[in-house]
Amino acid sequence: MKIVLLSGGSGKRLWPLSNEVRSKQFLKLVRNEDGTVDSMVRRVYEQISSNVSGADISVTTSATQVEAIKNQLGSKVSIIVEPQRRNTFPAIALAAAYLYYEKSCEPNETVTVLPVDPYVDSEYFCTLNKLDEAVQSGAADIVLMGVKPTYPSEKYGYIIPKISGSELSPVSQFKEKPDAESAQAFIERGGLWNCGVFAFKLSYMMDIVRKTVACESYDDVLNNYALFEKTSFDYAVLEKADRVAVVPYDGEWKDLGTWNTITEVMDPLYGFAIVSDDCKNTHVVNELEIPIVVMGAHDMIVAAGPDGILVADKEQSSYIKKYVENMDIRPMYEEREWGDYTVLNVSLDENGNKAVTKKKTVKKDSEIKEKTHISNRTVWTVLSGKAVIKINGRNHDAFPGDTYTIDKGVAHSLRAEENTVILEIQVNA
């Protein structure tokens, strides 16, 4: 079975820690069963690897998230890069072409698609095997996973099976985000939450791909990506399919899309913070190197990072997107394949000279590859660790306190022999 993880979105609902580059699935906030803390993408990846025998995992994402994925999952993971964001239907079409042409998968192979950010237990991934069995048996062209509802939610779509309570049933109809009264009626009919998990044979999706793009290679699909309708897989494929079935999943499932929901699986305190004893149901996340003191807060989320500070009632925090989606501010924190960096300061003097100061953390045995800045003069100061810095072809053993000035047009790189932190100042003058 081939598994495709959909990793996209800008994650504005978890501002200020998420941004256009650092989406919610990369935030290391989720508490595992063993008490450790992980990101959504790493947690799901490890759960699949542990529970689905022989699973071959690929991740579909945008170019801005590639380095963060490599940072968290390693360089060996298969990454399918969308040339532009065009919703789930084009992304899945591209993934099918990648599996067929680049990985030479058999047309009869089962492809299972799922989001990268659910909070679930191991049984969820065992259910993926049931989807595979149903697809291979020819029970349907598309087989979905449906979550047994715990309450009549208005936030989720519903799958109504023809045979209520069956372990595999044809789908009678779909209903998108009904009101609570209608949701209760659907549950009484055996309705299941649509959690965005579905499986099909690779040949089924490739037939759909070829109806849009005449293709004989992956590049044919990649170069004509804009021809695919910018719409969801549900609308473009699922709702038009003749043979659709559903397999129920009765276990833990949380959609961690907002601060209000993600705090359910978080520790109450992260980072440098002091919380008074009279605080109740309040979570504090501080990525800054200055303290936060919270007193007398009830049902609150306080989150501080390089992009900003949020102080909100948990329920109201679900509506944050409309307040921050038009902010025209560059991401101040980004992950890279070699580590991460935080922008500490951006200054512009009266002559128009711009200086950007960054704190970069480079993982042991990782490398900032050679580059040349045409318009910037760069200064690197080693704060901790040990590295080899190469400037204009000459290697320098770098230790804490060492400073290197790199003029415009000079090639330079860094290879960390230990976890290394540097202060970088780039001046455009």
Dihedral sign, Cα of residue 73, residue 74, residue 79, residue 83: positive
Residue 325 inside a domain? The answer is: no
Which of 233, 255, 277 lies at the terminal end of a domain, its last residue? 255
My answer on whether 24 and 127 are in the same domain is yes
My answer on whether 272 and 366 are in the same domain is no
pLDDT reported for residue 33: 79
pLDDT reported for residue 326: 82
Compute the average pLDDT of residues 200-221: 97
- pLDDT above 90 (res 22): no
Compute the average pLDDT of residues 8-32: 85
- 19-29: burial string, b at 16+ Cβ within 10 Å, e else: bbbbbbbbbeb
Residue 63 inside a domain? The answer is: yes
pLDDT, greater one: 126 or 421? 421
Range of the domain at 411: 338-428
Q: Using alpha carbons only, give the angle 238, 241, 245 rounded to the nearest 5 degrees.
A: 75
Q: In what order do the strands lie in the sheet with 300-305?
A: 269-270, 283-286, 300-305, 308-313
- pLDDT above 80 (res 429): no
Residue 154 inside a domain? The answer is: yes
Compute the average pLDDT of residues 194-215: 96
pLDDT reported for residue 205: 97
Q: What is the CATH number of the domain that holds 199?
A: 3.90.550.10
pLDDT, greater one: 51 or 411? 411
Residue 321 inside a domain? The answer is: no
Q: Which residues pair with 339 in a beta bridge?
A: 336, 362
- pLDDT above 70 (res 11): no
What's the pLDDT tens digit per position in 273-292? 999 999 999 999 999 999 99
My answer on whether 233 and 379 are in the same domain is no
Burial of 100 from C-beta contacts in 10 A (0-12 / 13-18 / 19+): buried
Q: What is each CA distance from 374 to 112, 115, 154, 370, in whole angstroms?
A: 46, 40, 54, 13
Q: Are 24 and 117 in contact (CB under 8 A)?
A: yes
Residue 260 inside a domain? The answer is: no
> What's the pLDDT band for 211 if we cut at 50, 70, 90?
very high
My answer on whether 242 and 345 are in the same domain is no
Cα separation, 218 vs 291, whole angstroms: 51
What's the pLDDT tens digit per position in 370-404? 999 999 999 999 999 999 999 999 999 999 999 99
Q: Are 143 and 131 in contact (CB under 8 A)?
A: yes
Compute the average pLDDT of residues 66-88: 92
Cα separation, 73 vs 341, whole angstroms: 18
My answer on whether 167 and 18 are in the same domain is yes
Instruction: State pTM to two decimals.
Output: 0.88
Residue 328 inside a domain? The answer is: no
Average pLDDT, the chain: 93
Which of 255, 277, 295 lies at the terminal end of a domain, its last residue? 255
Q: Give the HSE-up count for residue 298: Cα atoms under 13 Å, Cβ half-sphere.
A: 1
Of 198, 196, 194, residue with least CA distance to 149: 194
My answer on whether 7 and 95 are in the same domain is yes
Q: Which two tokens stand for residue 425?
A: 């100042």
Residue 168 inside a domain? The answer is: yes
pLDDT reported for residue 21: 82
My answer on whether 303 and 418 are in the same domain is no
Residue 263 inside a domain? The answer is: no
DSSP 262-308: HGGGS-SEESSEEE-TT-BS-EEEE-SSS-EEE-S-BSEEEEEETTE
My answer on whether 304 and 405 are in the same domain is no
Q: Which two tokens stand for residue 261?
A: 């929901």
Phi, psi (rounded to 5 degrees) for 319: -105, 15
My answer on whether 250 and 272 are in the same domain is no
My answer on whether 361 and 415 are in the same domain is yes
- pLDDT above 90 (res 10): no
My answer on whether 92 and 224 are in the same domain is yes
DSSP 165-220: T-SSEEEEEEE-S--HHHHHHHHHTT-EEEEEEEEEEHHHHHHHHHHH---SSHHH
Which of 234, 255, 276 lies at the terminal end of a domain, its last residue? 255
pLDDT reported for residue 177: 86
Compute the average pLDDT of residues 176-201: 92
Any idea which of 4-18, 183-197, 214-228 has the lowest mean pLDDT?
Answer: 4-18
> For the chain, what percent of residues have pLDDT higher than 70?
99
My answer on whether 236 and 301 are in the same domain is no
> What's the pLDDT band for 93 if we cut at 50, 70, 90?
very high
Q: What is the CATH number of the domain that holds 371?
A: 2.60.120.10
Look at the chain and report how many structural domains it folds into.
Answer: 3
Compute the average pLDDT of residues 28-37: 87
